[in-house]
Chains A and B, each alone.
Chain A
Amino acid sequence: MSFKRPDGRKFDELRPMEAKAGVVKSADGSAMFKIGKTVAFATVRGPREMFPRFMKNPKKGVLRVYYQMMPFSGVGDRIRPGPNRRAKEISMVTENAFAEVIMLEDFPNAVVDVFIDIPQADAGTRCAGICAASIALADAGIPMKEMIAGIAPGRVGDTLLVDLDYAEEAFEDATVADVPMAITSRSGKVSLLQMDGELTQEQLKELIKKTKDACAKINEVQKKALKEKYEVPK
Chain B
Amino acid sequence: MTESKLLVQDKQIVVPGEELAQGMDYLPSSGSYRDDNSIVSQVMGLVRIDGKVIKIIPLTGKYLPKRNDVIIAQVTDVAYSAWTLNTFSAYNAMLSLKEATSEYIEKGADLTKFYNIGDYIVVKITNVTSQKLIDVTMKGPGLRKLRKGRIFQVNSHKVPRIIGKQGSMVMVVKNHTNTQVTVGQNGVVWVYGEDPKMENLAEKAIKKIEAESHTDGLTDKMEKWLSGEVKK
Residues in chain A within 8 A of chain B (CB atoms): 28-29, 46-49, 58, 61, 101, 103, 106-110, 138-147, 184-187, 222-223, 226-227, 230-232
Contacts and interface: CB of A to CB of B under 8 A. Distances in A.
B90 A186 contact: no
Contacts of B43: 138, 141-144
A230 B90 contact: no
B152 to A, nearest CB: 15
A230 B44 CA distance: 9
A29 B43 CA distance: 13
Interface stretch (B53-61, B112-120, B167-175, B195-203): B53-61
B91 A147 contact: no
A145 B42 contact: yes
Query: Per DSSP, are chain A's interface residues mostly helix, strand or loop, or mixed?
Result: loop
**Which of B17, B33, B61, B130 is most buried by chain A, counting CB atoms within 10 A of its CB?**
B17
27 contacts: A46-B90, A47-B90, A58-B131, A107-B90, A107-B132, A109-B131, A109-B132, A110-B90, A138-B15, A138-B44, A139-B44, A141-B44, A141-B58, A141-B61, A142-B43, A143-B16, A144-B17, A144-B42, A145-B16, A145-B42, A146-B16, A146-B40, A222-B15, A223-B18, A230-B13, A230-B44, A231-B13
Given A47-B62, A139-B44, A108 B16 contact: no
A186 B40 contact: yes
A205 to B, nearest CB: 25
B131 A48 contact: no
A110 B91 contact: yes
Query: Per DSSP, are chain B's interface residues mostly helix, strand or loop, or mixed?
Result: loop
A48 B42 CA distance: 20
Given A141-B61, A144-B42, 5 more contacts: A49-B92, A146-B16, A226-B15, A227-B13, A231-B13
Interface of B: 13, 15-19, 31, 33, 35, 40, 42-44, 58-62, 64, 90-92, 130-132, 214-215
Nearest to A28: B62
A106 B13 contact: no
A61 to B, nearest CB: 8
Contacts of B61: 28, 140-142
Contacts of B13: 227, 230-231
A108 B15 CA distance: 24
B203 to A, nearest CB: 18
Contact of B64 (A103, A106, A222, A232): A106
B11 to A, nearest CB: 9
Nearest to B155: A141
Nearest to A224: B15
Contacts of B18: 186, 223
A28 B209 CA distance: 21
Contacts of B31: 143
A234 to B, nearest CB: 10
A184 B17 contact: yes
Contacts of A187: 35
Contact of A144 (B16, B62, B215): B16
B7 to A, nearest CB: 12
Q: Which 4 A-B pairs have the closest CB atoms?
A: A141-B61, A146-B17, A141-B60, A47-B90
A95 to B, nearest CB: 18
**Which of B13, B58, B92, B131 is most buried by chain A, counting CB atoms within 10 A of its CB?**
B13
Given A103-B42, A109-B131, A147 B58 contact: no
A43 B92 CA distance: 23
B90 A48 contact: yes
Contacts of A143: 16, 31, 42-43
A67 B140 CA distance: 48
**Which of B19, B31, B60, B215 is most buried by chain A, counting CB atoms within 10 A of its CB?**
B60
A140 B60 contact: yes
A193 to B, nearest CB: 20
A187 B60 CA distance: 25
A100 to B, nearest CB: 12
A103 B43 CA distance: 10
